C-alpha cells in the first residue's frame, strides 16, 4: 500500500518531454523533475534548450537536452534511440511539441497544413511507436501523455481560423483513446491533457486578437499560468494514475464546460 506522497513520487523514473524548452513543455519538465524524474527534453532550437537546461539544473533536476526537428520523419528514430540510450529506458513520454497556423480555410496553404499535421499528429504516432516498441512494451510499463487542446474538443468561430490545428488536436484525442485500448495489456497508460488559453509564444497572436475575451470566456475568469498543468501531468505520469487511461482532461478554467 502506497502513501499519498508515494503515489505521486517519480524518484527513479525517466521522462522524455518533446517541446520541453519553453512554455507548457518547460512547465511540465519542472513538475516531473521536481517529483524526482530524470529528464530528456527536446526542441528544434539549441539555444532555447541550453537556457531550459540551465534553469532546470538550478532547481536540482537531472536533465539532458537533445535538439531535434520532430516534424521530419527521418529525425524521429535516431532521436528515440538516443533518448533510450541516455536514460536506459523511457518510463514517461510527454508528446508536447506542436505547431499552429492561422489562415482562412479557403486559403489555407497545403504546406502549412502538412507542417501542422506532421508535427502535431504524425510525430506523436512515430515517437510513441518507437518508444513503446523499444522501451515500454518490453518492460511492460509506460506512461504516455499527449498534449491536445480544447481546440480539439469543438470548432471555432470565424475569428480564430485555425482549421489545421483544431483538426490535428482532435486527432490527438482519438489517437489517445485508441492507443490506450491497444496498449493497456502491456501496462501502458495513454492519456491526454487539453489546455485552454495559456500565455505562450505559440498562442501570443491569438491572445492579442482575442484580448480580454479570452478571460471572459472562462468561468474562472483567468488564463492558465505557469503552474496549472503540473498537477495533471504528475497524475497521469505517476502511480496515482495507474487506473486511468484513454482519457482527456481539459485544463482550461472551465471554458470547454460552457457554451458562450
Pairing of strands 63-67, 92-95: unpaired
- Tell me what pLDDT residue 206 has: 57
Helix (H) or strand (E) holding 55: helix 46-58
Return d(Cα 63, Cα 14) in angstroms, integer.
10
- Tell me what pLDDT residue 259 has: 59
- Tell me what pLDDT residue 203 has: 56
Burial class (CB in 10 A: 0-12, 13-18, 19+), 91: buried
Task: Please give the backbone phi and psi of residue 52, each rounded to the nearest 5 degrees, phi first.
Answer: -65, -45
* C-alpha grid cell, residue 80: 528515440
Return d(Cα 30, Cα 28) in angstroms, integer.
5
The neighbouring-strand residues paired with 17 are: 41, 94
Are 32 and 17 spatial neighbours (Cβ–Cβ below 8 Å)? yes
CATH superfamily, domain 7-252, is NAD(P)-binding Rossmann-like Domain (3.40.50.720)
Return d(Cα 173, Cα 191) in angstroms, integer.
8
- Tell me what pLDDT residue 236 has: 98
The catalytic residues are: 165
Task: List the chain domain ranges.
Answer: 7-252
Which residue bears the cell 486559403? 107
Helix (H) or strand (E) holding 190: strand 188-195
pTM here is 0.94
The pLDDT tens digits along the chain (260 residues) read 899 999 999 999 999 999 999 999 999 999 999 999 999 999 999 999 999 999 999 999 999 999 999 999 999 999 999 999 999 999 999 999 999 998 999 999 999 999 999 999 999 999 999 999 999 999 999 999 999 999 999 887 667 789 999 999 999 999 999 999 999 999 999 999 999 988 866 555 555 566 677 788 889 999 999 999 999 999 999 999 999 999 999 999 999 998 54
142-147 β-sheet, strand order: 63-67, 38-43, 14-18, 92-95, 142-147, 188-195, 248-251
Contacting residues for 191 by C-beta, under 8 A, at least 6 apart: 144, 145, 146, 176, 180, 236, 241, 244, 245, 246, 247, 248, 249
- Tell me what pLDDT residue 211 has: 60
Amino acid at each position: 500500500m502506497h502513501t499519498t506522497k508515494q503515489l505521486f513520487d517519480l524518484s527513479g523514473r525517466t521522462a522524455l518531454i518533446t517541446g520541453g524548452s519553453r512554455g507548457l513543455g518547460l512547465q511540465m519538465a519542472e513538475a516531473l523533475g521536481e517529483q524526482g524524474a530524470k529528464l530528456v527534453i527536446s526542441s528544434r532550437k539549441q539555444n532555447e534548450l541550453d537556457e531550459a537546461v540551465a534553469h532546470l539544473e538550478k532547481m536540482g533536476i537531472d536533465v539532458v537536452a537533445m535538439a531535434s526537428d520532430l516534424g521530419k520523419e527521418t529525425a524521429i528514430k535516431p532521436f528515440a534511440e538516443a533518448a533510450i540510450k541516455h536514460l536506459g529506458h523511457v518510463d514517461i513520454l510527454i508528446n508536447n511539441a506542436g505547431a499552429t497556423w492561422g489562415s482562412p480555410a479557403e486559403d489555407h496553404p497545403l504546406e502549412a497544413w502538412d507542417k501542422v499535421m506532421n508535427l502535431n499528429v504524425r510525430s506523436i504516432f512515430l515517437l510513441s511507436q518507437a518508444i513503446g516498441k523499444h522501451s515500454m512494451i518490453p518492460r511492460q510499463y509506460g506512461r504516455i501523455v499527449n498534449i491536445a487542446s480544447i481546440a480539439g474538443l469543438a470548432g471555432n468561430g470565424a475569428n480564430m481560423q485555425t482549421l489545421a490545428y483544431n483538426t490535428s488536436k482532435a486527432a490527438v484525442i482519438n489517437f489517445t483513446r485508441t492507443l490506450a485500448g491497444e496498449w493497456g495489456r502491456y501496462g501502458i497508460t495513454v492519456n491526454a491533457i487539453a489546455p485552454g488559453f495559456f500565455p505562450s509564444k505559440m498562442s501570443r497572436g491569438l491572445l492579442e486578437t482575442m484580448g480580454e475575451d479570452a478571460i471572459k470566456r472562462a468561468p474562472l475568469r483567468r488564463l492558465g499560468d505557469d503552474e496549472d498543468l503540473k498537477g495533471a501531468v504528475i497524475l497521469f505520469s505517476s502511480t496515482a494514475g495507474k487506473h486511468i487511461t484513454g482519457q482527456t482532461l481539459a485544463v482550461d478554467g472551465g471554458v470547454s464546460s460552457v457554451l458562450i
